[in-house]
Amino acid sequence: MEIKKGIGVSSGVVVCQALLLDEGEIRIGRRSIHPSEAETERKRLETAITAGGDEIRELRDSTTRNLGRETGAIFDFHLGLLKDPQLFETFILGIQRDHYTAEYAVHRALRDYGKVFLDHPDAFFRERVKDIYDIERRLLQKLLGRERIRLSVAEGPVVIVAHDLTPSQTASLSRTQVRGIAIEAGGRTSHTAIIANSLGIPAVVGLENIAHEVATDDLLVVNGYSGVVIINPDEATIHEHKGYERRQIKYQNLLNSMRDLSARTKDGVDITLHGNIEFPHEVDNALSMGAVGIGLYRTEFLFLAGEREPTEKDHYAAYAEVIRRMEGRPVVIRTLDLGADKYSPFQDQPPEANPFLGCRSIRLCLGNLRMFKTQLRAILRASVLGNASIMFPMISTPLELRQAKMVLKDTMEELDEENIPYSRHLRVGMMVEVPATALVPQPYVRECDFLSIGTNDLIQYTLAVDRGNQRVASLYSAAHPAVIKLIKNVVWSARGGNKTVSLCGEMGGDPDFTILLIGLGLRNLSITPRNIPAIKKVIRGIDTREVQRTVRRVMSFENAQQITNFLREETRKFLPDIFAEAMSGRD
Ligand code: PEP
Ligand code: MG
C-alpha cells in the first residue's frame, strides 16, 4: 500500500481499479523484411489503419452521443491523421524503400512526426504530440494483434491515471465508466479540474509520478476531499473508504432532496444560486441541481472541442439551445476567454513567454474583430429567445471595456441595418478577475450593468501563482487575506453603485467560504451545479446579521491558514461533519 498526496479538486471518494492512460510505449525493434514481404506488410498496415479508424469513429460517435457533438469532435484530429496521404506515403516508403516491418515503419514515421510537434514553439501544437503517440499505440496494438483498452468499452468502472488530461479529454470521459481521476499535472482551478467537478467525478491532481507508479488494474482509493490517493490499499483501508463511498451516496441523496427549497437565510435574505456550464447539454443538470439561472457560460469550449472554427450558425445553435432550455431564466453568456491554458487550434497566435499575462481573452477578441463579432452577432440574435446577458472576461482597463462595448454597439447597428431582431434590454457585464480592476472598480461599476468576480484568475494574479501549476499549488489559496480584501472592495463598490455583483469562481462552490461571502455582502453566486445543494444547506443555516462576527474575525487574521481553519470550523456548524475523517489531511 502506498499513499500519495495531491490536491483534491472534485469531491467524493472512490475505490476502484486503475486504467493507466499513459501506458508505457510498446518497444518496437528494428527488424528488416525481405523485399518480397513488402506487399504483405502493406496489407497488414492497411488493415490496421482501417481497424484503428473504425475504433476511433466508434469512440467519437459514442462520445458525441453521451456528451455532445463538440466533445466528440476532439477525435477528429486522430481520424485526420490516419487519413493523411502524406503520412501514409511515409509509412509505405519505410516498408518498400527501407525494408522496415509495418510496425517499425509506423513507429519510425510517427516518432519523427511527433518530434516536429514537440519542437513547435506554440503550446497548442506541443500538446498534440499526445494524440500522435496515441495513434501510434493504437496502430501498433492492431498490428501486434493486441486490443488496446478503450475507454468506451472498458469493462467495469475505472479510475483514470495519467500525467495530464486536457479539458476536452476530461469532458469526453464517460461518467458511468470513469469513477475517478488521478493525474500528475494541474492545480485547484485548472480547467481540467473544473470539468471533472462539473462531471461529478472525484479527482485528485498534482500527484507526483503517479503515472509511473501505478499499473492498469491496480486498486486505487481516490479521495477527492483530502487529495489523497492510495495505491493497492490494505483490507482495512478499503473497508474504511467503502464506508465513505456509501455515506457519500446517502449524503448526496439528502442534499438532492433540497433542490426545490429556497436558498434563503434564517433571517429571510434570498441568495441567488446560478450554475456554471461549459456545454449546452449541462443545462438540464444545472436545473436539476437547483440552479435558478446560468451565471457563467464558458463559450470558449465551442472552440476547444470543435473540429473547425465555429461559424455564426454554430455559435447561435449553442446559445439558442442554452437560452431555450432555461425557459426565461437568466443566462450570462461570457464572450470567448481563449488563450493561456485554453488554446484553440484555430488561433494563429505567435508564441508568448507568459501566455497568462499575454494576448488572452478579451485582448485576443479585440485583436480579432472578425472572430469577436461573429460571436456577438450570434449572442445578440439568440437573445430574443429568453433572458440573456453578455459578459466580457478579463477586463483590465476602462478603455478595454469601452472598446468591447463599442464593438457590441457596432454589431447591434449591423443587425439593425439587416433588420435582424435582438433584445434591446440585453444587460452587459464584465468579470472582475484582475487585481487592478478589483482595486479600483468604480469606473466599471459605472459602465456595466453587473460585475462578476472571477476568483480563479483573481487569485492567480493577486498571489502570482499559476492556477494550473502543481508545483506552486500550495501557494494558491482563496483564503489569502489579500484576495478577501479585493472581493470585499468589489462588492462594496458595486453595492454602492446599485449594481448587481456576483462571484463565479470555484471559491463560490466551496461551502467553507459561503458564510464569509454572504457576510461580505454577496447575494448572487454562480457555481458548479453539483455544489449547489451543499451551498444551499449552509445558506439556510445562517443569519446574515450573525455572520458579520465571522467576517470581522476573518479580517483580523493575517494568513490564509488561520482563515481556512477558522472558516472550516464555522462551516461545520451547518454542514454535517460526515466527511470530517475523509477530509483529514486536506491542507
Ligand atoms: C475565474 O477566473 O474565476 C472564472 C470563473 O473563469 P475561468 O475559470 O473560466 O477562467
Ligand atoms: Mg477567468
433 pocket-lining for ligand 1 (C-beta < 6 Å): yes
Q: Does residue 255 lie within any of the structural domains? A: no
300 pocket-lining for ligand 1 (C-beta < 6 Å): no
Q: pLDDT band at 71, cuts 50/70/90?
A: confident
Q: Which residues of 495-519 are buried (b: 16+ CB within 10 A; e: fewer)?
A: eeeebbbbbbbbbbbbbbbbbbbbb
The CA 277 to ligand 2 mean position distance, Å, reads 13
User: Hey, whose CA ends up nearest to atom 4 of ligand 1?
Assistant: 454
* Whether residue 26 has pLDDT greater than 80: no
Q: Which of 210, 242, 274 is the last residue in one of the domains?
A: 242
Shared domain for 39 and 66, answered yes or no, is yes
Containing structural domain, residue 118: 35-144
Shared domain for 190 and 206, answered yes or no, is yes
* Whether residue 28 has pLDDT greater than 80: no
Shared domain for 481 and 571, answered yes or no, is yes
Q: Does residue 401 lie within any of the structural domains? A: yes
Among residues of the chain, what percentage have pLDDT more than 70? 92
- Phi, psi (deg, nearest 5) at residue 557: -85, 155
pLDDT at position 85, please? 92
pLDDT at position 132, please? 85
Q: Beta strands 427-432 and 450-453: pairing type?
A: parallel
Shared domain for 179 and 49, answered yes or no, is no
* Whether residue 115 has pLDDT greater than 80: no
Q: Does residue 258 lie within any of the structural domains? A: no
Active site residue 16: no
Residue 385, domain CATH = 3.20.20.60
Q: pLDDT band at 577, cuts 50/70/90?
A: low
Shared domain for 156 and 19, answered yes or no, is yes
Active site residue 504: yes
SS3 assignment, position 342: strand
User: Which ligand has its closest atom nearest to the C-alpha of 341?
Assistant: 1
Q: Does residue 253 lie within any of the structural domains? A: no
Shared domain for 427 and 354, answered yes or no, is yes
Among residues of the chain, what percentage have pLDDT more than 90? 60
The CA 190 to ligand 1 mean position distance, Å, reads 9
* Whether residue 586 has pLDDT greater than 80: no
The CA 1 to ligand 1 mean position distance, Å, reads 37
Higher pLDDT pick, 384 / 242: 384
* Whether residue 386 has pLDDT greater than 90: yes
Shared domain for 211 and 227, answered yes or no, is yes
Q: Which of 109, 144, 179 is the last residue in one of the domains?
A: 144
Q: Which atom of ligand 1 is nearest to the CA of 505?
A: 3
Shared domain for 475 and 501, answered yes or no, is yes
User: Which ligand has its closest atom nearest to the C-alpha of 194?
Assistant: 1
Active-site hit among 78, 191, 241, 480: 191
DSSP class of 264: B
Residue 122, domain CATH = 1.10.274.10
Residue 187, domain CATH = 3.50.30.10
341 pocket-lining for ligand 1 (C-beta < 6 Å): no
Shared domain for 112 and 219, answered yes or no, is no
Q: Which of 144, 176, 211 is the last residue in one of the domains?
A: 144
Shared domain for 332 and 445, answered yes or no, is yes
Task: Give the gyration radius of the chain's Cα atoms.
Answer: 25
pLDDT in tens, 39-52: 999 999 999 999 99
Q: Does residue 251 lie within any of the structural domains? A: no
Higher pLDDT pick, 79 / 131: 79
Mutate to test the pocket of ligand 1, among 303, 456, 503, 526 (most ligand atoms within 8 A of CB): 456
Shared domain for 394 and 504, answered yes or no, is yes
Q: Does residue 249 lie within any of the structural domains? A: no
pLDDT in tens, 127-180: 777 788 788 888 888 887 654 444 433 557 899 988 888 766 777 777 788 999
What's the order of all strands across the beta sheet hosting 2-5?
2-5, 228-231, 219-223, 13-20, 158-162, 178-183, 203-205, 7-10
pLDDT in tens, 325-354: 999 999 999 999 998 877 776 666 777 889
Shared domain for 108 and 178, answered yes or no, is no
- Count of structural domains, the chain: 3
Q: Which atom of ligand 1 is nearest to the CA of 296?
A: 5
Residue 37 CA to residue 25 CA, distance in Å, equals 26
Q: pLDDT band at 74, cuts 50/70/90?
A: confident
